[in-house]
Amino acid sequence: MIEAVKFSKDQHYKKQLYSLLQVTRAINNNFPAADLFSIFEYILSQQLGYTKFAYCCYDEIWRWQVIYCAANETRVIKPEIDLVEFNELTFINESSPLNLRNFNVAIPVYHKKRPLSVLLIGDLDELSLENARIHDLEFVETISNIISVAIENKRLFKDNVQQEMYKREMEMAKEVQNMLIPSSLPNDEYFDFAAFYQPQRHIGGDYYDFISVNEDEVIFCVADVSGKGVAAALLMANFQAYLHALVGITTDLKKIIHDLNSRVAESAKGEKFITMFIARYNKISRKLNYVNAGHNPPILTSQNDSILLKEGTTGLGMLEKLFRLEEGEVEVAKNSRLLCYTDGLVEQENEGGKDFGIEQLELIMHQNKACNSEEFNRILLDYLITYKGNQPYIDDIALLTCRFF
C-alpha cells in the first residue's frame, strides 16, 4: 500500500509527483484492483485533503468502488442514468440534478465513446473549489484516468485469458467429439456408406455411428441432442459410450431404446432430450429393422419409390418411461439408397424464409440414383448451399448415406 509521507505547502508539485509514482509502481507491480482503489482513496483523502468523494466504475454495469464519507449521497444516485450525462470535467451547480448537488465536481473518464468511470468530489467551499481549480483538478483527472485505464486493461487481459481458455476448451471438446464418430465407414460388396458432419458452432450435438455386430449384421444410427455447445456434446459423448456398451450385450432395438431413454432421462434431468434413428441390417436376409425415436424420418428410395422410416417412439429423455414403442421392418431392394439426416438439413431456410424440406430431398435422391454415397452427399450439399444463398446455417447438419448392393 501507499506509504504515508508529509509534505510542506511549498512542496505541492513534489506531492503530486510522489502520488503519481506510487500509482505507477502499483500498476507496474500488477496490484489487484482493490489495492489501486485504496491507493486512489488515500491520495484523495490524505494527500489532497478531500473530505467527501465517490468513485464509480463501469464494467458491464456501474459499481461504486470508492465511497468516502458519501454513503448517503450515493444512495440517491443512479449511475446508469445520472453519471452518463458527464462527458468532461464538470462543476455541479444549481442547474444540475438535485441528487447530484451534494457534490461539487464530476470528473468522467472515457475510452473512445465507452465510459470507464466518474469521480464525484464534494464538501468544497468557494475557496477550496478555487484552490482545487488551480492546483488539483487536472492532477486528479490524470490520476483518475490512469487508475481507470489500468482497471480496464486488467479487465481486457482477463477477458483475453478467458477467451483463450474457452478457445482451448472448444478445441479439446471438438477433438473429443471427432473421436465419437467412426473414422471410416464400410464400402464393400454389401453396401457403400458415407457421412458428413458440420456443426453450426465449434462443437455441436449431432452424432452418427456404425457398429459391426457380427459377420451378417450391422447397427447404424443418427442422433441429435437438443441445444448446442459443450453441454450438448458431453451428453452425446455419454450417450455414445452407453450405446456401444448396450450393443455389446444385445441387438434388440426395443431394449436398446428403452435403456437409452432411461439413461438420457437420468443424465439430462428433463433439461435436454435426444432424437435418434437406429437400424439393424442383416446382409443375408436384406431385412432392415429400425426404431425412430422422434427423429426426422430417413428416406429409403428404390427404383421410383421412396418411403419414410417413421415407426418408433418419442424423443429419448422426454419421458422417464416410454409407453409406446414400435419397431419398423423393411426389406431392402438392390441398389436402394438410404439417407439419414438431422433437422439442420431440412429446416435450412432460403432467403425467402422457406425450408429446404423433405420433398426436395426425395427429388434429389431420385435424380442421382447412380452416384456412390460420397458423391451423393457432395451433390446434396451443393444443392443446399445454392438453396440457402446468403442465409447462415441455422443448425448442425449430419448426413449418413448408404447405398445397398
- 361-390: pLDDT as tens digits: 999 999 999 899 999 999 999 999 999 999
φ, ψ for residue 351 (rounded to 5)? -70, -15
What integer pLDDT is reported at residue 169 of this predicted model? 65
Low-confidence ranges of the chain (pLDDT < 50): 1-9
- C-alpha grid cell, residue 27: 500498476
What integer pLDDT is reported at residue 7 of this predicted model? 42
What integer pLDDT is reported at residue 4 of this predicted model? 45
Domains belonging to the chain, first-starting first, are 9-161 (3.30.450.40), 181-404 (3.60.40.10)
Angstrom distance (rounded) from CA 237 to CA 344 = 20
Please tell me the total number of residues recorded for the chain in this structure. Answer: 405
